[in-house]
């Protein structure tokens, strides 16, 4: 695993995905050399089946004119290439919660001490439970209760509230409402969920109860992008922990929370450093 | 995790399971003290939901008369208690294979150097592929091809061959035939399988292909007792390894073999040291 | 690893250490059975070399009279036996810090949401850096600067401040001053430190710099009791993480903080559940 | 961690190390593009402190003329550049052993089933213990006893025997003799050792005894190149396993062997796939 802590100060970050072809690395690196940009790290991946090329390049020195560099790269790449030069190096996030604090607390502490490149814009809960904790960190908290509302009305209020903010990602930090396809479509590729199991095992509700009944020896958690398919979106990070016959369901939940917190935290860090690229139903993670 | 290497030389091992009640530990330890047996380790588990008590005790000194000790214990335990005193401290195993060598090789090497308490009686393959390797270790190899045979006939031949041997466990070391309920019933609680995935994810065939398509970040393996339900038997050991987008299906298979080998090896060691007790659909593993 | 989350509500917890002898488990369990206490878990360890016996027993039901039970147990145990019945089931801790927040923040969040049995009485820093964060959680913060003070005077002030509080443990949560033998002796067996390396590798200062120069592929952290010998006290918890050639010293520090936080957190949880017993230079951890 | 299993069939592998400069990637990738070589994976590392550049490139298609490609690359790189094109894609190894079988057995089994790119040329033991096992695999075994010989004479015989073979690496697979600086110098950068601890903890003999006395909660193993400094050579692979107070020294040895085997096996695989580059006292491992 690579370190994921170097912020992009005095560096130029370039992300490209396009159809694969001979000479892409040459074309890209020629362009960079032309601008006297020295490559510090270049990580690329070729999906041979899909004939697609992905690359993440970090160069020494902050190149002043992003548009110029982007255009120069576009000239030497296939027409459909997606090019990003220095995407915002601090990601803005909106965090959705229900009642559980473990993921939110981790996010707010890191935010407070600025230990990563993510900036919480607001926390939105369908209960008021986590308001006072969020207040400590001087982050806006909005409660939008799902009670007495149709799913449609609830989601519309939620969407309206979210749209009050500028954001790169919406983090579902133990947000316990199933979202409609419409909601998901509204925020395509921006919704990141922490699922309380090692997907694809134990899809759906009560995974720890399922895990306990099954007598598993390992439990896990999965951070993934949200798509229409419940718990089926592209996986970003997974991790596990050994358990044994002594674990009650409650013990599994407690142990699971530690994994959930760590996995979501890692996913947000990777996203904030632009190390995650989407490749259809999967992710490429340049750790 | 506890060490699992001390063989039972000059020790008395006792396994008990029965209905739970107040005073069981007192009754058992009184009996042991009466015989001047000093308890080295005692591991017990109470399944509160099922009201069942499980214990594994190791005492200093080999008690000469197993029947006497067993009877003395029975007198102070509920009538339904299952008591084992010094179950054979070297387990005899019959190994079933198809073509893959990684688990078998590990078993035969450990057998050869006597690094665990399991003794391979014979290897049976539905192909002849692994005969010459098995021959190196002077272990009988029998090939029973499933080709040109009905499933029933194949299994009958297999059963007949297995029954030529005395054994404690039948190890399915990458035996790639699905066994009938009848076969499973014939060897109840004696069949141990290594499944090439982290159950319950990816049940059935081609788990690595499934894992690759799903873009998982972790793959695993599961050693479990075999029951009628495909891949649903009580789990003994599970382990995992991190993977990433660079892994092809073939890479996952290769990495998976390392996990399979380690997981099955650990399961056999635990079984050979009588550290695994069955509790309906689950296991208790006194590691 | 066992779960460590079940608090001792409606349970009786007993810790005993004494010289080993035949019949100890019998004597203990007889006494418990006499009081109709049903053993839920009993974990014992015999140090055969030192001829010492250690046991941790959890029984169903809260026994009302601790002294009576303790006396009854003393009657059937060797004279030197140390017996604890229901030691305070919430541990009071005083936390010492310098400037780094990662361990303190974890402790304060768990304190705030009461997710473990430890209660922070106060935070004491030799800098004022972490005051405002501590204030958010309404925990007293005292700054005792080491600047302009002799080591002796500094420690005397520290001792005086600590003694204002009732506490079970003093947690050195990245407290970056080396403590004198006198200080250590003042709080014997009560000082718990998080060391930023996998002891005994890289004893002393700048372990990550040492680790980087050495090109290690793994870094770690160690929670341990503090004794006179620098970084030589009994180890409670250790954990590690893989690193590689890409890690700068700074990356190692960042990754190390995650391990430090997790390791110290786990150590405090184990201590708060009375799962750690001292055995000279080592610990017994009944996880 | 990257998969390490894809052999270099129909691929061109290029390894380069040289002084760092702007445009190196461009120069290299231009040269490759000129020959219509499509880059599958390119992993590079810049040691900014030492101003050195390292790269490992895999291209689609086997380029027929290695010398031509190497010369073309040399033209566009600094004069001191070290360039390797398609280094032998199966590494020849000579294995040195004493009495312990666990590492050797793993190597011979993988050799037998050709699951990696290493080819054992011979096994040399300072005892005859492992001859019969080696014989099973039809690999030459030579016994050169150190008894009744001066260290110098012993090593001279050893060197003479080793030099009977063509080899890329000499694997010290639990070879329990300390080698002289002269011996080490004779086979510079070719000697790979498995050390039975997590270096730099417990340098020297009896690490498990040291680990037990210290009450560590983790034990490990280290595969490293051998240099003059005992146990100080560049580290290739390290791994660990959790232990606890129940482990005797013997249990630690047993658990340690499993780690040693796995770590050495992984190191040989990485070497056989040319994923390891030396950078003074450290390694770069392009996993």
Give me the torsion for CA of D46, D49, D52, D58, rounded to 10°.
-20
For residues D169-192, average pLDDT: 95
Using a CB-CB distance cutoff of 8 angstroms, which residues of chain C are in contact with residue B11? Answer: none
What is the per-residue pLDDT across C255-271, written as a single tens digit (0 to 9) for each?
Answer: 999 999 999 999 999 99
Lowest pLDDT segment from B7-11, B103-107, C2-6: C2-6
Query: How do beta strands D82-85 and D11-19 pair?
Result: antiparallel
Query: Which of A65, A153, A231, A251 does the annotation list as catalytic?
Result: A231
CB contact under 8 A, B29 and C33: no
Lowest pLDDT segment from A9-13, C272-276, D123-127: A9-13
CB contact under 8 A, D214 and C220: no
CA C185 to chain centre: 16
Give the whole-angstrom CA distance, residue C124 versus residue C132.
13
pTM flag (> 0.90): yes
Q: Tell me, what's the pLDDT at A7?
A: 46
Those chains having 3 or more beta-carbon pairs within 8 angstroms of chain B are: A, C, D
**Low pLDDT (below 50) residues in chain A:** 1-7
Backbone angles phi, psi at D156, to 5 degrees: -65, -40
State the ipTM, two decimals: 0.91
Of the pLDDT bands very low, low, confident and very high (cuts 50, 70, 90), residue B139 is: very high
Of the candidates D72, D76, D94, D96, which has an alpha carbon nearest to the alpha carbon of residue D85? Answer: D72
For residues C129-146, average pLDDT: 98
CB contact under 8 A, A42 and D29: no
Give the whole-angstrom CA distance, residue A204 versus residue B40.
45
Q: Tell me, what's the pLDDT at D7?
A: 46
CB within 8 Å of B47: residues ≥ 6 apart = B20, B53, B54, B279
For residues D273-286, average pLDDT: 95
Q: Beta-carbon neighbour count of residue A97 at 10 Å?
A: 26
Residue ranges of chain B assigned to CATH 3.30.70.260: 11-85
Q: How far is D287 from chain B (nearest CA, A)?
A: 11
CB contact under 8 A, A245 and B218: no
Using a CB-CB distance cutoff of 8 angstroms, which residues of chain C are in contact with residue D50? Answer: none
Q: Taking 50 as the threshold, does the pLDDT of residue B189 lie above it?
A: yes
Q: How far is C258 from chain D (nearest CA, A)?
A: 18
Give the whole-angstrom CA distance, residue B270 versus residue B248.
33
Give me the torsion for CA of B15, B20, B21, B23, rounded to 10°.
30
Cis peptide upstream of residue D200 (ω within 30 degrees of 0): yes
For residues C20-42, average pLDDT: 91
Share of chain B above pLDDT 90, in %: 77
Q: Taking 60 as the threshold, does the pLDDT of residue C7 lie above it?
A: no
Nearest CA in chain C to D236: C217
Cis peptide upstream of residue B200 (ω within 30 degrees of 0): yes
Using a CB-CB distance cutoff of 8 angstroms, which residues of chain B are in contact with residue A284? Answer: 245
Averaged pLDDT of chain D: 91
Averaged pLDDT of chain B: 91
Using a CB-CB distance cutoff of 8 angstroms, which residues of chain B are in contact with residue C46? Answer: 39-41
What is the per-residue pLDDT across B74-106, written as a single tens digit (0 to 9) for each?
Answer: 999 999 999 999 887 789 999 999 999 999 999
Q: How many CB pairs under 8 A join B and D?
A: 67
Pick from D113, D133, D255: CB nearest B3: D255
Q: Tell me, what's the pLDDT at A231?
A: 66
Sequence length of chain C is 287
CB contact under 8 A, B254 and D136: no
Can you tell me whether residue A259 is helix, strand or coil? helix
Backbone angles phi, psi at B283, to 5 degrees: -115, 155
Residues of B that are catalytic: 231
DSSP symbols for B246-280: T--HHHHHHHHHHHHHHHHHHHHHHHHTT-EEEET
For residues D236-254, average pLDDT: 93
For residues B167-186, average pLDDT: 95
Q: Taking 80 as the threshold, does the pLDDT of residue D8 lie above it?
A: no
Of the pLDDT bands very low, low, confident and very high (cuts 50, 70, 90), residue C5 is: very low
For residues C36-60, average pLDDT: 91
* Of C101 and B196, more confident: C101
Using a CB-CB distance cutoff of 8 angstroms, which residues of chain C are in contact with residue D235? Answer: 214-217
Share of chain C above pLDDT 90, in %: 77
Per the structure block, which two tokens stand in for D154? Answer: 């012993």
Mutation to test the D interface, candidates A1, A38, A61, A239, most D Cβ within 10 Å: A38
Averaged pLDDT of chain C: 91
Residues of C that are catalytic: 231
Nearest CA in chain B to A46: B246
Nearest CA in chain A to C247: A3
Is A153 catalytic? The answer is no
Query: How do beta strands B91-97 and B118-125 pair?
Result: parallel
Query: How do beta strands C91-97 and C191-195 pair?
Result: unpaired
What is the per-residue pLDDT across C212-250, written as a single tens digit (0 to 9) for each?
Answer: 888 999 999 999 999 887 667 999 999 999 999 999 999
For residues C165-181, average pLDDT: 96
Of the pLDDT bands very low, low, confident and very high (cuts 50, 70, 90), residue D206 is: confident
Residue A91 is inside which H or E element, if any? strand A91-97
* B91-285 placed in CATH 3.40.50.170: yes
Q: Taking 50 as the threshold, does the pLDDT of residue B5 lie above it?
A: no
Tell me, which fold does domain A11-85 have in CATH? Alpha-Beta Plaits (3.30.70)
Q: Tell me, what's the pLDDT at A206?
A: 76
CB contact under 8 A, B244 and D1: yes
Q: How far is C287 from chain B (nearest CA, A)?
A: 9
Q: Tell me, what's the pLDDT at D90?
A: 85
Mutation to test the B interface, candidates A224, A242, A245, most B Cβ within 10 Å: A245
The upper half-sphere exposure of residue D202, i.e. CA atoms within 13 Å in the direction of its Cβ, equals 23
What is the per-residue pLDDT across D126-158, written as a single tens digit (0 to 9) for each?
Answer: 999 999 999 999 999 999 999 999 999 999 999
Of the pLDDT bands very low, low, confident and very high (cuts 50, 70, 90), residue D263 is: very high
What is the per-residue pLDDT across D46-62, written as a single tens digit (0 to 9) for each?
Answer: 998 899 999 999 998 88
Per the structure block, which two tokens stand in for B185? Answer: 């019933």
Give me the torsion for CA of D197, D201, D205, D206, rounded to 10°.
-70
CB within 8 Å of D272: residues ≥ 6 apart = D90, D91, D116, D117, D118
Residue ranges of chain A assigned to CATH 3.40.50.170: 91-285
DSSP annotation of D29 reads H
Q: Tell me, what's the pLDDT at C208?
A: 82
């Amino acid at each position: 695993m690579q370190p994921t802590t170097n912020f992009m100060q005095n560096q130029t970050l370039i992300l490209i995905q396009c159809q694969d072809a001979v000479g892409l690395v040459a074309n890209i690196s020629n362009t960079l050399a032309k601008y006297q940009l020295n490559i510090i790290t270049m990580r690329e991946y070729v999906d041979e089946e899909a004939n697609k090329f992905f690359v993440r390049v970090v160069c020494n020195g902050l190149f002043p004119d992003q548009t110029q560099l982007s255009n120069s790269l576009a000239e030497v790449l296939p027409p459909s290439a997606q090019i990003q030069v220095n995407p915002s190096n601090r990601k803005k996030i909106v965090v959705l919660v229900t009642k559980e604090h473990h993921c939110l607390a981790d996010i707010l502490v890191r935010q407070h001490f600025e230990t990563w490149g993510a900036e919480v814009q607001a926390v939105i809960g369908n209960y008021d439970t986590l308001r006072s904790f969020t207040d400590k960190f001087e982050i806006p908290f909005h409660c939008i209760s799902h009670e007495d509302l149709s799913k449609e009305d609830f989601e519309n209020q939620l969407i309206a509230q979210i749209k009050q903010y500028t954001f790169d990602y919406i983090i579902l930090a133990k947000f316990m409402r199933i979202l409609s396809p419409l909601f998901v479509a509204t925020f395509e590729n921006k919704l990141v969920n922490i699922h309380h199991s090692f997907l694809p095992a134990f899809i759906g509700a009560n995974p720890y109860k399922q895990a306990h009944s099954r007598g598993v020896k390992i439990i896990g958690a999965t951070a993934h992008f949200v798509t229409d398919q419940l718990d089926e979106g592209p996986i970003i990070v997974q991790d596990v922990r050994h358990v044994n016959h002594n674990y009650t369901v409650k013990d599994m939940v407690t142990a699971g929370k530690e994994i959930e917190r760590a996995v979501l935290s890692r996913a947000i860090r990777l996203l904030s450093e632009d190390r995650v690229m989407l490749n259809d139903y999967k992710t490429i993670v340049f750790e």
